[in-house]
Amino acid sequence: MWKKVYDWLDERLGFDSLYKGLLDRPEPEGNWWNTLGSASLFLFVMQGLTGIFLTVYYTPSPDHAYDSIQYIMNDVAFGWLIRGVHHWGSSLMVLVVFIHLVRVFVTASFKYPRELTWLVGVGLFLLTVGMGFTGYLLPWHQQAFWATTVGTQIVGSVPFIGDFLLQALRGGPDLSALTLQRFFSAHIWILPGLLAALIGVHLYQIIKHGESHFPDEED
């Protein structure tokens, strides 16, 4: 019976080729340094899941953002846990992605034929940092408010287009409800969308070229 169901599905979905193409691939001798990429992916998924839960209660307006987070922390069942995991997960993700980048740099895994994998990877790193920057403002507390004020000010110091960039980031001359709304939108739609798409490309590239081996004197 199960065999029949499996065969029917396999005919249409192609489990076997999927298994051969994705999972049953030969790999060079690896070690624990090779797990950093998948660890980043795992953290991305965790951030996504906890983030989705947080949007259920979070309100992106200056009047309610702080209080809605306090409500999540104090009144929602296990809200403190979800928020805590999301909060620490962001720090950990930036750290793990950065260590992953350094590992690839040190073993020179970015060289032929993996140049584009590196390029996409740097994009992923920048997007991760961008997620951290936009997410930091969302609780709308003093530290975040003033750090973002200074952070956006720095962007404003670019010659010629600085003022335009500043206004685009803040949605006006000062941090306001618009800024919060923009950061929220960037944090839950724009950046994660780009991240997910680039992660897809990154994974395809890895499967295409295989994991790089650790270099020896021959390389």
Partner 1 sequence: MNEDTKKKINAKYERELNNSSERFWPDSIFKDVIVALGLFILLIMMATFIGVHDTPKADPSDTSYLPRPEWYFLFLFKFLALYGQIPVLGKIEFIAAIIIPVIVLGVLTALPFIEKSPYRYYGKRVLPISVMAIFIVSMVTLTWISDIPTTSGEEGIYVAGILQTIGGLIVPGLGFLLLFIMAFTMKEKAKQPMIWTAVIASVLMIAFTGATVLTAPGRESAEEEIPVTLPDRIVAGQDLYSVYCVECHGDDGSAITIENTEVVDGVEVTTTTEITPINTRDVLYTLTDSAMVEVIAYGRPNYGMNPFGLAYGGELTRTQIDQMVTFMRYAWDDRFEMPEIPELFPPLAEGEVPSYEVHIAPIVKRYCVSCHRAGKDNNDYLMTSYAEILTTGENAEFNIIPGEDYEQSYLLITIQEQPILDENGEEIIGVMPPKSVLKADVVNVWQLWILNGMPETAEEAAALSDIPVNTETP
Asked whether 65 and 138 are in contact (CB, 8 A), the reply is: yes
CA angle 78/56/125 to nearest 5° reads 90
Among residues 136 and 184, whose Cβ is nearest to partner 1? Answer: 136
The DSSP secondary-structure symbol of 186 reads I
If you compute the radius of gyration of the chain from its CA atoms, what whole number of angstroms results?
A: 21
Q: At what angle do helices 115-137 and 79-106 cross, to 10 degrees?
A: 150
Q: How far is the CB of 49 from partner 1 (least distance, A)?
A: 11
Burial class (CB in 10 A: 0-12, 13-18, 19+), 186: buried
Q: How far is the CB of 6 from partner 1 (least distance, A)?
A: 18
Among residues 64 and 197, whose Cβ is nearest to partner 1? Answer: 64
Q: How far is the CA of 183 from the CAs of 167, 169, 208, in angstroms?
A: 13, 8, 35
Among residues 7 and 67, whose Cβ is nearest to partner 1? Answer: 67
Q: How far is the CB of 129 from partner 1 (least distance, A)?
A: 7
Q: Rounded CA gap, 97 and 39, in Å?
A: 8
Burial class (CB in 10 A: 0-12, 13-18, 19+), 20: exposed
Among residues 8 and 204, whose Cβ is nearest to partner 1? Answer: 204
Q: Rounded CA gap, 187 and 175, in Å?
A: 16
Among residues 1 and 214, whose Cβ is nearest to partner 1? Answer: 214
Q: How far is the CB of 178 from partner 1 (least distance, A)?
A: 13
Q: How far is the CB of 14 from partner 1 (least distance, A)?
A: 17
Among residues 8 and 78, whose Cβ is nearest to partner 1? Answer: 78
Q: How far is the CB of 12 from partner 1 (least distance, A)?
A: 22
Q: Rounded CA gap, 169 and 178, in Å?
A: 9
